[in-house]
Amino acid sequence: MRFAAMVVANIKTTARNKQALFFLFIFPILFMALFGLVFGKSQDVAKIAVVNQDKSTLAKSITKSLSKIDKLQVEKDGQGDGMEKLKKGKVDAVLVLEKGFAKNFPRHPASIDLYYDPTSTRSQMMRGTIGAVLGGIERSMIKTPPLITVKSKSVQSNQLTYIDFLLPGILAMSLMNSGLYGLATAMVTRREKGVLRRLKLTPLPLSQYIGAGIINQLLVSLVQAALLVLIGHYIFGVKIIGALTSLAILVIVGSLCFITIGFVIASFAKTTEAVATLGNLIGMPMMFLGGVFFPVDNVPNWVKPIVKAMPLKYLADSLRSVMVQGQPLSYVHDDVLVLLAVTFAAFLLAVKFFRWESDKR
C-alpha cells in the first residue's frame, strides 16, 4: 500500500509541474509537428522540363508517357527557361524535342537531346527513365516482337520516407531526455532540500522510494510513446506495422537505460544546475550522432566508434526496425542486449557513487 501511495504521489507531483509536462509531452510533439510539416511529404518526386518544339504524334506520345510516370513531374518550358532551371537545380533534366526531329521516323532514328547534371544522382537516374520510356514507345510503334522476355515479379520493399525515419528517432530522443533530466533533477532537488535525508528516518524503505520514482518515469515514457505514435500515424500518415507489445518492451528497456544513466548523473551532480550541464554533455552528442534526425551509417570512419558507443543509436535503430519496418523483437536482440548492458553498467555506477545527503551543511 505504501509503495502504491508513493507511486501515486510521484504521478501527482509530475502532473503539477507544468514545466516538466511541457518538456515531457509538448516539446517532442512540437518537434514531431515541425519536422513533419517540413519533411512529411515525400521528397522523391523528380522533375523534368520538356521543351516541345515539334507538334508530331511522336512528340505528343513522349510527353504523355512521361506524364503518366509516378513521382515524375513534367514541366513544359522553352529551352532557355528549362536550361536555367536545370542550372539552378529546380529540375533534374531537360528533354528537348526539336522541330522535325521525328520527320523520317521510323525509317530513320529520331534525335532527342537530354540535358542532365552529372553530379546529381537523381539527374543521372533520369537517363534510364527516359531510355525506358522511349524504348517502350518505339516498340509499340514498330511492332517488332521482342527477342528477350522478362517475367516481372513484384517484391514489396520497406523503403522509409523521412517522416517514417523521424518518428522513432523523436521517440528515442524523448525517452532519453525524460531519463537524463526528469528523475535526476528530482533526486538532486530533494537531496538539496534534505528530503532524502529525512526519508531515512521514516519506515519507508529507500528501495520503495526509488522504485516508485522509476515506475513513475516508465509510465511517463509509455504515455509519451502512445502520444507520438498516435500523432505520427493519424496526422502524418506514418504506418505502424510492428507489434505494439514489442514496441512497449523497447520503450521500457530504453527508458530504464536512460533512467539509470540519470541516476549516474544524480550521483555526481551536487546541484540542479549541474544536472542540466552533465545532461547536456551526455545528451547533446547523442541527439545529433544517435540517428535521430538523419542516418549515421555513412559518417566518417573516425566518428563511427563514437556513434557505436551511444546507447541512443541502438534505441532509435531498434524502434525504427520494429515500428515502421515490422521486424520482430528477435530481429533487434543485439540492440536490446547493448541497452541492457548499458543499464547494468550504469546501475553499478549509481549504486557505488549515489549520495543520499547533500555536501552542504
Q: Where are the domains of the chain?
A: 46-142, 160-353
* Distance spanning both ends of the chain, measured CA to CA: 34
Helices (H), 269-357: 272-289, 304-308, 311-323, 333-353
Closest C-alpha to 283, from 214, 168, 182, 166: 182
> What pLDDT, on a 0 to 100 scale, did the predictor assign at position 147?
46
Mean pLDDT value across residues 185-205? 73
- Max avg pLDDT among 89-103, 135-149, 300-314: 300-314
> What pLDDT, on a 0 to 100 scale, did the predictor assign at position 148?
45
CB 247 within 8 A of CB 323: yes
Closest C-alpha to 113, from 54, 69, 70, 72: 54
For 11-44, what is each residue's pLDDT tens digit?
Answer: 666 556 566 555 666 767 776 777 666 655 545 5
CB 192 within 8 A of CB 272: yes
CATH superfamily of 46-142: abc type-2 transporter like domain (3.40.1710.10)
pTM: 0.63
